[in-house]
Amino acid sequence: MNDHRPGSPPAIGRLSADGLLLDAEPRLAELNRRAGGAPGQPVAVPQIAALVRLVQRLNIALSRSIVAADGEDDIALSVRAEPDELGIRLEVGGWQAGAPWEAEPLSRREADFLRADADWLWTTDAALHLTQVSDHAGPRFGFDPQAVLGQPITRLFVLNDDGDGGFPILSALAAQAWFDGQEAAIRGTAHRVRLSAVPRIDAQGQFAGFDGAAHSLRDGPAAAAAVEEASTDLPDGFSRRIGRALRDPLGRIIANADSMSAQTEGPLRDDYVAYAADIASAGRHLLGLVDDLEDLSAIERADFEVTVEELDLADVARRAAGLLAVRAAQGDVRIDRPSFDDSLPASGEFRRVLQILVNLIGNAVRYSPPGGTVWIRMERDGDDAAVIVADQGKGIAVADQERIFAKFGRVDPTEAGGSGLGLYIARRLARAMHGDLLVDSAPGQGARFVLLLPGRF
């Protein structure tokens, strides 16, 4: 175990203007060496290196509290980096040994999910007395949020049983666990809500109450129409705003993580390289979700149209296969693409057809076993041109074949995969181009997806 004694003076280090370590006091030099660095190289502790790069870019002094791995230990450090006449001066203090980092407690992550789309929020103490209610809930739902504070939760809500005489909130109280699906009426009003909550735990590990959410419930045809509208339309411009807000920071995260993974700024420990690769992969997944949301918003607009142009389906299929060649090679999957002599004229929008085929071939690669093959074949089907993408995966049961084309449809939500939007978007695009997207599969026999477009024969 490394010696981390708090209270000693900060360790000073000097870096050149381009971020190379010139010299460092022993404590900092040893930490850097154990992380895989050396004088004349960039700082090897990733969190310090990231701060140095930020100071280089902004040319101002910055301070951060970080937790860095040091062998089997984690160590809390306070780091200050500032430009000077030699380059950058580092001052590293704290040196407080700490327990290894642990994931955020499950209840807190569940709280984020349960509360993310809530109409309003509430909190109780361990005796189920309300300690906080969202101020904006009162005018909309017909009660005074301040008047119910300190009162039992039943002073605000008339709780409904679950049909079997049980109450989810009381079961959760007994188990000190999270709950969802507790229906209730707001006392003295016509409003009905669904309650969900996660337990709060105090510093001594004792149950301290619930952090809760309220979701408005509606009845009758108006409610069904509202649900249908919510399920098919995103607010106008929402996805574009999300795209603008997320695309640039996600791009920077991916670029920096790729740079760390490739060790372009100096050697890193193997586990740091693996972490960086995971970060880059997660960033790409999120960027793909942003793309899907933007496409979803576009195709569900009443005025959505595609451009009809002449194209060669075989050429588009070859291009899509080329875009996925690296991913296929990494998974030891071979893509049997159309030859350069193949041609199949059709009508559609080139970029949308390419998008559909990238999705189909990407799915086929993902679900193919190592050593497997993905086949891409061209056929004529009456007046239509057809591209067939077939794989050697586990197949899709007949009962699940329509579900995979539903919005957010996943046969197995626990299985690694995309957002559940790809095939929904692909079929909507195919039909917008007066074609269709079909599947033919059986468990254990792989899957065949067929993209049909109007032919030009």
Distance between CA atoms of residues 357 and 311, nearest Å: 14
Whether residue 386 has pLDDT greater than 90:
yes
Grade residue 67 by pLDDT with cuts at 50, 70 and 90. confident
Q: What's the number of CA atoms in the CB half-sphere (13 Å) around residue 51?
A: 26
* More confident: 270 or 112: 270
CA dihedral (96, 98, 100, 101) positive or negative: negative
Average pLDDT over residues 225-250: 51
pLDDT in tens, 72-114: 677 878 888 888 888 999 999 888 775 444 434 444 445 555 5
In angstroms, what is the C-alpha Rg of the chain? 29
Provide the pairing of β-strand 120-124 with 62-70: unpaired
Q: CA triplet 359, 239, 116: central angle to 5 degrees?
A: 100
Maximum Cα interatomic distance, the chain, rounded to a whole number of Å:
82
Contact 177, 106 (CB under 8 A): no
Predicted local distance difference test score (pLDDT) of residue 29: 92
pLDDT in tens, 174-185: 888 888 889 999
Average pLDDT over residues 189-211: 83
User: pTM for this structure?
Assistant: 0.44
Query: In residues, how long is the chain?
Result: 457
Predicted local distance difference test score (pLDDT) of residue 247: 64
Task: Give me the helix-helix angle, 350-367 and 422-432, nearest 10°.
Answer: 150
Contacts of 249 (CB under 8 A, 6+ apart): none
Grade residue 243 by pLDDT with cuts at 50, 70 and 90. low
Burial of 248 (0-12, 13-18, 19+ CB in 10 A): exposed
Provide the pairing of β-strand 334-336 with 373-381: parallel
Q: How far is CA 203 from CA 67, 109, 157, 163, in A?
A: 21, 18, 29, 37
**DSSP SS3 for 159:** strand
Contact 154, 253 (CB under 8 A): no
**DSSP SS3 for 176:** coil
Average pLDDT over residues 327-332: 88
* More confident: 218 or 366: 366
Distance between CA atoms of residues 421 and 448, nearest Å: 19
